Structures are given as structure tokens and as C-alpha cells.
Amino acid sequence: MLTVVWSLLGVVAGALLAIQASMNAQLARDIGTPVVAAAISFAAGAVMLSLVSAVVVRAQAITLDWQAPPLWLFLAGGCLGGSYVTAATYLAPRLGAAALMAFLVAGQLLAGMIIDRLGLFGLAVREFSLGRAAGAMLLIAGALLIRAY
């Protein structure tokens, strides 16, 4: 049952990405540039997450260990996220929301398969299989079909 809940949460998160990319594209049109729209999106997200984090840390009495992670981990995720949001903001009006999401999911799947296979970032190694390869090829074909038609 819990697997179904987590899976549905993943679907909802994916839907939020499509909505965010479309909203940021509108903000970019209105403000005049995708980069500033992405920066505004990230700033708003940072404020919201800072408030939620403060509440969670306090409510769960968590002690944060600021010295445990290497310095690059404090920066890399934000830089990658900023690049993603900027690219999605730029590409949404050019590709359309559906095609953009299809290509983003295809890229996420390919990167995820590499991360799984190599066990990067402390994740368990998951072998590359014929089923995974077929799924990736079908997803890429689907992305191309969504864009073409």
C-alpha cells in the first residue's frame, strides 16, 4: 500500500513540474527573460523551504550537522536545480508543456539508470537489464512522438 502512495506522490510531483515550467514561462514572457524568471522561482522556493525547514527541525527536535557533508554538496544541488528551472522556463514555450515534460522525464530516466548502475551518491547498485533498456527506449520514442505530432 505504501508503495502505491509513494508512486502517486511521484506522479503529483511530476505534475507540479509541468505546472511550474508553464508558470515560469509566463513569468519570463511578462518580465522579459527566462533567467530572471528562474531566479525569482528559486528565490520564492528558497524562502518557502526555509520556513518549512525551520518548522520541521523545531517540531522534530533535529540537530543539524553542518560539518558532515562535503562543501560541494551544499552548492551542487542548487546549481543543478537552477540550471533545470532555467532550461525548463526557456524551453516550455518552444516545445510545449507535454513535449518538454517527456524530454525531461527521458533525461531523468537515463541519468537515473546511470546513477543506479554505478551506485552514485550512496545509492544501492541496481543492475542494467533488458527491461530497463526497453523502458528507456520506449520513453525516448514516446517523447519524440509527443514532439513530432
Within 10 angstroms of residue 143's Cβ, the number of other Cβ atoms is 22
Query: Measured on CA atoms in the order 122, 124, 129, 131, is the torsion positive or negative?
Result: negative
Residue 16 pLDDT > 80, yes or no? yes
Q: Summarize pLDDT for 109-134 with one digit per residue, the tens.
A: 889 999 999 999 999 999 989 998 89
Give, in order, the Cα–Cα distances in Å from 17 to each of 66, 108, 138: 29, 13, 21
Within 10 angstroms of residue 79's Cβ, the number of other Cβ atoms is 10
Check if the beta carbon of residue 79 is closer than 8 Å to that of residue 122: no
d(CA 58, CA 103): 39
Residue 149 pLDDT > 80, yes or no? no
Domain residue spans of the chain: 1-94, 96-149
